[in-house]
Amino acid sequence: MLLRSMFAKNYRSLRSIHMDVAGVNVFVGENGVGKSNLYRALQLVQAAVRGTLAHEIAAEGGMASVLWSGRRSPTDKNFRIRLEIEVLDEERAISFRYRVEAGLRPPKAAAGFAFEPQIKAEEFWVDTGSRPVTMMKRDGPGIMVRGERGRMQEYPEQALTSETAISLLGNAGHYPEIGTFRRGIDNWRFFHGFRTDRDSPLRQPCLAVTSPLLAEDGRNMAAVFATLVHTRGDTVELDRAIADALGGAELSVPPPGEYAEFGLVFPDFPLRTFHPRELSDGQIRFLGLAAALMSYRQPPLIALNEPEASLHPDMLVPLADMIAQASQYSQIWVVTHSQQLASAIQARCGVRPKRVIRQEGATWIEGMRLLTGVMQDDEDE
């Protein structure tokens, strides 16, 4: 399930931005230009698909905190966040588009809580090559869905203001296109940053359960390593990355019992295994990134937000090597302050980093222009 484009409007510093998405996407820029808002907007689409969009926005401080706060057009009467993506199911040669809009409750409305985010509108299209066909449309609580005979009909259940129709219909199990779309987006992985304190999940043993993917907080990292070592039995690329980044260190993963555990063996201390609680913040964070990028099964999209944090500069090239390796199986989205990391990824993947800037108060991509409503790179003209 390949992400082809994304659109975000009125979300934090994203006044209105629509861009095509490549296999590897690197966004570099200074603090405060809105790089993380691009990342977060994509994550909120996944939250909508999962049915947790209202909760996620509320956790950010509510609609009043996440709405665009810059200059508004006089025509902006119904001010809402709007998010939209297009994805391609490569195996079936089918494109899916999904749009969701959220806003505040009208002052005199009785439904919903006063300050909670409310889902205002949604639409889901399928395109098999001729023209897009609307499969679901929601305006307020009412949902229209295309039935087995190909006609739009009213869905018997109305959605609560905090519910997304895409999640409600997906859970119903009667709409295969929606189910396919939801499964693909649900498998995206967003790694905003790993805790590295003493009680970090990365430093803890975990239950010995075969783990093909790393959890977003890294709590099953030991099981991910155990799965690679004792189930796949092939850790050549992982071993090389760890050795390159951590001074020739070797990963030690004993056969799991009730719990899975791991440690590092360093060349200067070949007879001793250093346990996770003994490792530096940079070392444990790099191992978390290694588990995210080189797990047994790769997610369709891996998004990394400022992965260079706490890493020694010598670790950035091995990190770029892992990103290049992962890009053979997953779409990659990297937000970074580090020009060194961006350049290393460019050298290995052949993609030019996108420089994120502020333009008239809004987040923008340098060297791109608005053409018929779609952002296109000048060099591709």
Q: Residue 351: what pLDDT?
A: 95
pLDDT 10s digits, 186-222: 999 999 989 999 999 999 999 999 999 999 999 999 9
- The string of pLDDT tens digits covering residues 37-86 is 999 999 999 999 999 999 999 999 988 889 997 877 766 666 899 999 99
Of 358, 362, 320, 361, nearest to 339 by C-alpha is 320
Q: Is the pLDDT of residue 381 over 50?
A: no
Q: What is the pLDDT of residues 121-170, one digit of tens each?
A: 999 999 988 889 999 999 999 999 998 888 999 999 999 999 999 999 98
Q: Look at residue 115 and tell me whether its pLDDT is greater than 70.
A: no
The pLDDT of residue 71 is: 79
Residue 131, pLDDT score: 87
- Residue 379, judged by CB atoms within 10 A of its CB (0-12, 13-18, 19+), counts as exposed
Calculate ∠ Cα 289-295-298, nearest 5°.
105
- What residue ranges do the domains of the chain occupy? 2-21+51-186+368-372, 190-354
Supply angle C-alpha 242, 243, 249, rounded to 5: 95
User: Residue 1 — very low, low, confident or very high, per pLDDT cuts 50/70/90?
Assistant: confident
Q: How confident is the model at residue 355 (pLDDT cuts 50, 70, 90)?
A: very high
Residue matched to tokens 């020694």: 312
Residue 228, helix vs strand vs coil: helix
Rounded to an integer, the average pLDDT of 280-309 is 97
Spatial separation of the C-alpha atoms in residues 96 and 190, rounded to whole Å:
21
Query: 160-169, 172-181, 255-264: which range is least confident on average?
Result: 172-181
User: Average model confidence (pLDDT) for the chain?
Assistant: 91
Q: What is the pLDDT of residue 112?
A: 58
Alpha-carbon distance 78 to 83, whole Å?
Answer: 15
Question: 43 to each of 8, 37, 59, how far by Cα in Å?
Answer: 12, 10, 13
What is the model's pTM? 0.91
In the chain, what percentage of residues exceed pLDDT 70?
92
Q: Name the pLDDT band for 380 (thresholds 50, 70, 90).
A: very low
When the candidates are 3.90.1170.50, 3.40.50.300, 1.20.1260.10, 3.20.10.10, the CATH number that belongs to 190-354 is: 3.40.50.300
For the chain, give percent helix, strand, coil, nearest 5: 30, 30, 40
Question: What is the pLDDT confidence band of residue 375, given thresholds at 50, 70 and 90?
Answer: very low
State the residue for tokens 């009125």: 10
Closest CA to 237 of 153, 318, 176: 318
pLDDT given for residue 244 in this prediction: 97
